[in-house]
Amino acid sequence: MPKAPQKKRNSAGKAGPYAHAAAKTNAANSIFRMNTDIGQHVLKNPGVAQAIVDKADLKQSDVVLEVGPGSGNLTVKILEKAKKVVAVELDPRMAAEVTKRVQGTPEQKRLEVLLGDVIKTDLPYFDVCISNTPYQISSPLTFKLLATTPAPRVCILMFQREFAMRLFAKPGDKLYSRLSVNAQMWAKIDHIMKVGKNNFKPPPAVESSVVRIVPKVPRPDISYDEWDGLLRVAFVRKNKTLRSSFLGTSSVLNMLESNYTTWCAQNDIPVEVGPEEDGEDEVMGDDQEDADLDELMDVDDDEIPDFFKEKHDPASQAVKTKPSKKRGKVAKLVREKISEQECVMKATF
């Protein structure tokens, strides 16, 4: 029996099971979707990438740390000038991509890819750091680099523009903050260039800037806990004088009195500790003011990572009370000295 003629299937107009995904991939012109939640914005402009590498003044003997290499656009340009690149990448897909980028080339042996979170990773020795930094780790990465021993010679880092401007802000600038003072205490920071959002794929929501960070060698010989504690008080409120910041709460004044008394004892300086002769009863301690201070001092904690923060003072956990006592001579002397320092700083700036 002859077979009935069958209609030929027109497969040309019918999509296969992977057609939608392929079309989506081709439309995005990418091998995979970028995860912008972890700051994946690949620098696609080769001119900008070359300018960043040039600003590092690399030597042929340099080992370069690159954070977030992405698809390797910066990596290959660094390898042209440096001895070795250590690239730290969080995304396994990106790590595979940058490895594939140099596979089968002489540069393959000079690239080491570390998979993981750069903030939690024990980094090997490096001379220079170059990074198109994921914006979510801008502050932790900055202070991790400043805490690295031995200190890198220079760091060329791409940041969100506002964060970058806060890093190199000067006294009197609108963005001058505790972050500015902290970073500039440990390094010399310069602005190199602005980078528009269209130089990335996919474009971020904000503009970017590149900064040069040169750590100070030797590092300042100070106690970071005490230094950061001072800044927390000084920057607790904007548009407030130092005198108001230091004398606005009893907890700060009591601390200054105690420190001054200790310093005088260590240096054999006599100091009268009795009450003022004409002093009136003063309520030492304002619960609301101290509570406001504690709250405001924690506003920008995310700027400084845990390994750079001071430990919480157990004394600050104590229940605050309102003891009534005579205003002491030491308190008066401390107030006078703070006023003198305020006048000096006004004359300086």
Exposed (0-12), middle (13-18) or buried (19+): which is 76, by Cβ within 10 Å?
Answer: buried
Tell me which DSSP letter residue 297 carries: T
Pairwise CA distance, residues 215 & 221, whole Å: 14
The closest alpha carbon to 130, from 199, 223, 201, 192, belongs to: 192
Coil, strand or helix at 219: coil
Indicate the annotated binding residues.
41, 43, 68, 89, 117, 132
Indicate the annotated binding residues for S-adenosyl-L-methionine.
41, 43, 68, 89, 117, 132
Report whether the peptide linkage leading into residue 124 is cis, meaning its omega lies within 30 degrees of zero: no
Q: What letter represents residue 62's amino acid?
A: D
The residue with tokens 């420190």 is 259
Pairwise CA distance, residues 133 & 160, whole Å: 9
Can you read off the two tokens belonging to residue 27?
């439309």
Report whether the peptide linkage leading into residue 150 is cis, meaning its omega lies within 30 degrees of zero: yes
Question: Burial letters for 62-71: b for 16+ Cβ neighbours within 10 Å, e otherwise?
Answer: bbbbbbbbbb
Can you read off the two tokens belonging to residue 268?
């054999």
